């Protein structure tokens, strides 16, 4: 039987029974953790606050070079690279920063 999320007091029902692991929070960290645990064979459920996947505005419009590297370690970076727009520069404290010569396999920001 679904119950409310006890950790946050959410009124969105979350399936908290019958799973080996329940991750509270469907943000980037929670989703990545859920993916890693699922790849390791764990039975994982994710509980989030929102009732749907609808968003107002953007929460993450691009991936950093390090994020792309993490996806690459799992063999799924090409899916994102094929759909995104590569940017060789970013901003740091309102100043442009050229990252095209960073010593990384994916030395870009990826707009999604």
Q: What is the pLDDT along the chain (112 residues), one digit of tens a residue?
A: 344 455 545 544 444 568 889 998 877 788 888 888 988 999 999 888 777 777 676 666 788 888 888 889 888 889 889 999 999 988 888 898 999 998 888 899 998 8
Residue 7's domain spans which residues?
3-47
What total number of domains does the chain contain? 2
pLDDT given at position 48: 80
Is residue 67 situated within a structural domain? yes
Is residue 95 situated within a structural domain? yes
Is residue 57 situated within a structural domain? no
The end-to-end CA distance of the chain, in Å, is 37
Structure tokens belonging to residue 51? 């009732």
6: left (phi over 0), alpha (psi -120 to 50) or beta: alpha
Co-location of 16 and 41 in the same domain: yes
pLDDT given at position 104: 85
Is residue 55 situated within a structural domain? no
pLDDT given at position 98: 92
């Amino acid at each position: 039987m679904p119950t409310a999320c006890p950790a946050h007091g959410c009124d969105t029902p979350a399936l908290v029974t019958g799973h080996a692991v329940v991750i509270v929070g469907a943000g980037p960290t929670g989703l990545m953790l859920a993916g890693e645990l699922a790849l390791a064979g764990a039975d994982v459920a994710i509980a989030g606050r929102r009732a749907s996947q609808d968003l107002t505005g953007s929460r993450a419009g691009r991936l950093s070079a390090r994020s792309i590297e993490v996806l690459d370690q799992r063999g799924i970076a090409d899916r994102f690279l094929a759909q995104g727009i590569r940017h060789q520069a970013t901003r740091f404290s309102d100043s442009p920063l050229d990252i095209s010569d960073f010593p990384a396999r994916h030395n870009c920001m990826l707009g999604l």
